Structure 1
Amino acid sequence: MKRSVSWLVLAVIFGWQHTAAAETLIVKISGLHKPFGTVRIMLWKEAAGFPTQPDKAVAQKSAPVSGPEVELSFTGLSRGNYAAAAYHDQNNNGSLDRSLLGWPVEPTAASNGARGLVGPPSFSDAAFDLKQAVQTIQLIFK
């Protein structure tokens, strides 16, 4: 009994806790046709705001473009469903440029190769399950 209490006291003193797994998502981006600008990628955990409202994304990253491929990593993610969307900010103005009709004039891509018939892709078409400690997805700009 004394030994059990001792272990319990030590566990409390040293902050013995169960922590959620922190997963890593590697995003390989290809199909970049112009070797300049910045790739901006965002992750959403739910449909709200996907892919047109970056402020509703749970994570965002960017990387300079110097060739046809870029690789980015997101760390500390919890397991579950995500959808990714990216754009090639060719003029580095920090936003996706659009035509007068609202169509993107800079290249875009989404996870699972999702494309909307008219308008942006849906979250459900782009969703993937993050279920491994280290998982890789591919985004291809067309």
Structure 2
Amino acid sequence: MKLAFSLLVLPIAALSGAAGHPHRGTDVTVTVTQLRSADGQVRACMTGDPDRFPQCRSGTVSHRAVVAAHKGEVTVTFPDVAPGRYAIALLHDENSNGKADRALGMMPKEGFGFSRDAKVRMGPPRFEEAVFEVAESPKAMAIKMRYMF
């Protein structure tokens, strides 16, 4: 029951595209709903690499963003995203310590969410459960923040 998503220690950064081939991608905008407080930050990572999900610490097809939390909802935008298949993981880092705090060593004490509102069972969802397509036009979606405590 290990939720291994020690997400995002970096501020907004976009690390996508093939080296030497600049592209003009599109925006992916996420409305994060059901935040229980305005404490801390919402950390978001989006990756097209199944092996890097949900952490997506680095990689050529990874994007990261950090925004101030607001009770209710916040908006996160990933700019200049190349067309492809991606999955998003969110963390409501309420104490702004840059990591997912856990109770009993396993259960997340802070909020989390995934694209397609993929379900958490005995750990984070697989990439294929959270994956979505980005085409050449802007993409918008909502992701519900969930809390276990």
Distance 2:68 2:80 in 1: 22
What value does the CA root-mean-square deviation take over the aligned residues?
A: 1.7
With normalisation by structure 1, the TM-score equals 0.80
- Aligned residue pairs: how many? 124
Deviation of the 1:99 alpha carbon? 2.1
Q: Does 1:47 align with 2:19?
A: no
Larger gyration radius, structure 1 or structure 2: 1
Unmatched segments (≥5 aa) in structure 2: 1-20
* 1:30-109 → structure 2 map (5 Å cutoff): 30-51=33-54, 53-56=55-58, 58-109=62-113
* Runs of 4+ residues over 3 Å off in structure 1: 18-21
Distance 2:23 2:69 in 1: 34
Deviation of the 1:20 alpha carbon? 3.8
* 1:92-131 deviation line (CA, Å, top 9, x unaligned): 1111111233221111000001023211111000000011
Distance 1:75 1:133 in 2: 12
> Greater share of strand residues, 1 or 2?
2
Distance 1:114 1:122 in 2: 9
> Greater share of helix residues, 1 or 2?
1
Residue type at the aligned position of 2:42: V
Distance 2:120 2:81 in 1: 27
Unmatched segments (≥5 aa) in structure 1: 1-17
For the 8 Å contact 1:48–1:56, the answer to whether it is kept is: no
